Amino acid sequence: AEADESALQEPRLRLLLAGRSGTGKSATGNSILGQKRFLSRLGATSVTRTCAAGSCRWAKWVVEIIDTPDLFSSEVSQTDPGCTERGRCYLLSAPGPHALLLVTQLGRFTAQDQQAWRGVKALFGDGIVTRTIVVFTREEDLAGGSLQHYVRDTGNRALRELVAECGDRFCAFDNRAASGKREAQVMALMGLVEELVRDHGGAAYTNDVYSLAQALGGADPAERLRRVAERVAVCAQRRRERWPLAWLWRWPKAPGTWCKLGVCTLLGAL
């Protein structure tokens, strides 16, 4: 009993993997863990069908890695109509992640990656931006070049904007690297994670869904998943209802302002 109590008191870090399918999320999780915990295969389509978790020790921390399937594409309402898998993602990462690792492939930041990033914010709320680290896979494609120079000089405006939005927190992984290089990559990532932890006073990210998941901690697992999935669905519906007005407010305040205000008024009356 004493050992169990001690284990519960060990400092933990929860890292949530996110991004579009085929970018190497699972392989990156395996690299961090130092073992093949998650199913991973080279290809453009996802082999991950459900959320999964693995853990390892790093310095004083027990690090928990949560791998995710395709929860962030525009098709998620069809692939996860009842929000069950999104609810499972919340439960596995409760009481909240200390960092979200947005995985994208070096040199291939596409429209699907942009959609995945929108999907991340739709699922967890815009506040997740303050906890996000961009992780580039295929670091070997730099061929010895500087990652900082690559990000600074890229002609991909959307990528530059993403990195800036995430506070210039980024690193790169070669998921086929030998153990020495792998450990250096993990150390670079964990340095960014520890900086985030310090910046937020050790607190994990939270929102209304995570709060509900915690409040239901003693409930039957199936009932807990059902309730959390319901809350995710409600939040998704509210976001969809707000989206047209938020989009209109992003229009430049120029000659069309009065037209914009008129449309906003009309939508608000519907």
**Closest by Cα among 113, 8, 12, 9 to 53:** 12
List beta partners, residue 55.
Answer: 64
Position 89 scores a pLDDT of: 98
- C-beta of residue 58 within 8 angstroms of C-beta of residue 31: no
Task: Give the per-residue pLDDT at 247.
Answer: 46
Residue 40: what pLDDT? Answer: 76
Per-residue pLDDT for the chain (270 aa), expressed as one digit of tens each? 333 434 457 899 999 999 999 999 999 999 999 999 998 766 545 566 799 999 999 999 999 999 999 899 988 888 899 999 999 999 999 999 999 999 999 999 999 999 999 999 999 999 999 999 999 999 999 998 999 999 999 999 999 999 999 999 999 999 999 999 999 999 999 999 999 999 999 999 999 999 999 999 999 999 999 999 999 999 988 887 875 555 454 455 444 544 545 544 545 554
Residue 259 in any domain: the answer is: no
Q: What's the confidence (pLDDT) of residue 47?
A: 61
Q: What is the CATH number of the domain that holds 200?
A: 3.40.50.300
Helix axes 221-249, 208-215, angle to 10 degrees: 170
Q: Does some domain include residue 142?
A: yes
The number of distinct structural domains making up the chain is: 1
Diameter of the chain measured on Cα atoms: 70
pLDDT in the model for residue 76:
87
Residue with tokens 């239901």: 216
Query: Is residue 248 one of the residues assigned to a domain?
Result: no
SS3 label, residue 64? strand
Judge whether 225 lies within some domain.
no
- Residue 219 covered by a domain: no
- What is the C-alpha to C-alpha distance for residues 79 and 92, in angstroms, rounded to an integer? 19
* C-alpha to C-alpha distance for 51 and 30, rounded to whole angstroms: 14
The two three-digit tokens of residue 117, written as one number: 């990033």
Note down the domain range covering 89: 2-208
- Whether 230 is covered by a domain: the verdict is no
Q: What is the CA radius of gyration of the chain?
A: 20
Domain assignment of residue 56, yes or no = yes
**Tokens encoding 202:** 């050790």
The reported pLDDT for the residue numbered 115 is 97
